[in-house]
Amino acid sequence: MASYSTNEFKGGLKIMLDGDPCSIIENEFVKPGKGQAFNRVKIRNLKNGRVIERTFKSGESVEAADVIETNYQYLYNDGEFWHFMDPDTFEQVSADAAAVGEATKWLKEQDLCTVTLWNGAPIIVEVPNFVILTVTDTDPGLKGDTSGGGGKPATLETGAVVRVPLFVQIGEALKIDTRTGEYVSRAGK
């Protein structure tokens, strides 16, 4: 089994901790002049996203995590799993709701997203910061209102509901910031 010594620790390194794959965010070497050396490490648990602080005795070895990030095309949801395909090899993987998480609100068929695989299975699905989605339902706006003030809810093709300006109509394509879930602009055709 592959492993890393604390001397290999750096940001981005993927290690196994308590059975979960984790990513090192920050590594600090601490040592009293005449005492025991430690590595104090800030780590993100890739399964639940939680950030924790851990301590290793310098020189210890830790099991490596088989984690890779790849771009996949989103295919479809069968009600239980979300299916993705590698656009180069056409290889397919399926992710459960825990892996897809919030991304489900913004996933549109054919769109590319970043999938983190642990031992070949998806554990994180990330959509781009900005996506273009079409409005499937919203109250008819007032003609001539371009102020954008106030706003109204609009349902997008993925099912997500965002606040949009009053002038937005059903069938329009919108640019959305997936980090905040906010409307950015109308997307030019």
Partner 1 sequence: MALEFDAQHASWQPSASLQMLRSRAQLLATIRGYFEQTGALEVETPICSSFATTDPAIESFQLAYTGPGFPASHPLYLHTSPEFPMKRLLAAGSGAIYQICKVFRDGESGRQHNPEFTLLEWYRPDHDHHQLMEDVAALVNSVLPSPREIEYLSYHEIFKRHLDIDPHHSTRLQLQQCAKQHHITDADRLNLPSKDAWLDLLLTHCIEPQLGKDCLSFIYDYPASQASLAKIRAGSPALAERFELYMDGMELANGFHELTHADEQRERFNQNIEQRRTNGQPIVPMDENLLSAINRGLPNCAGVAMGIDRLLMQITDATHIDQVLPFPITRA
Q: Give the binding site for partner 1 (CB under 8 A).
A: 28-38, 40, 52-58
Rg (CA), the chain: 22
Residue whose tokens read 């981005």: 12
CB of 41 or CB of 113, closer to partner 1: 41
Helix (H) or strand (E) holding 184: strand 182-186
Question: Measured from the CB of residue 18, what is the shortest distance to partner 1 in angstroms?
Answer: 9
Q: How far is the CB of 28 from partner 1 (least distance, A)?
A: 6
> CB within 8 A of 164, min separation 6: which ones?
135, 138, 151, 152, 153, 154, 174, 183
Closest approach of partner 1 to the CB of residue 122, in Å: 25
State in angstroms the smallest separation of the CB of 53 from partner 1: 8
**CA neighbor of 96 nearest in space, from 114, 86, 85, 84:** 84
Complex with partner 1: residue 6 or 23, whichever CB lies closer: 6
Between 5 and 110, name the residue whose CB sits nearer to partner 1: 5
- Compare residues 52 and 121 and give the one whose CB is closer to partner 1: 52
Kindly tell me which of 47 and 186 has the beta carbon lying closer to partner 1. Answer: 47
Give the DSSP per-residue string, 14-74.
Answer: EEEETTEEEEEEEEEEE--TTS--EEEEEEEETTT--EEEEEEETT-EEEBP-EEEEEEEE
Q: Minimum CB separation from partner 1 for residue 19, in Å?
A: 13
The token pair at 115 is: 């999938």
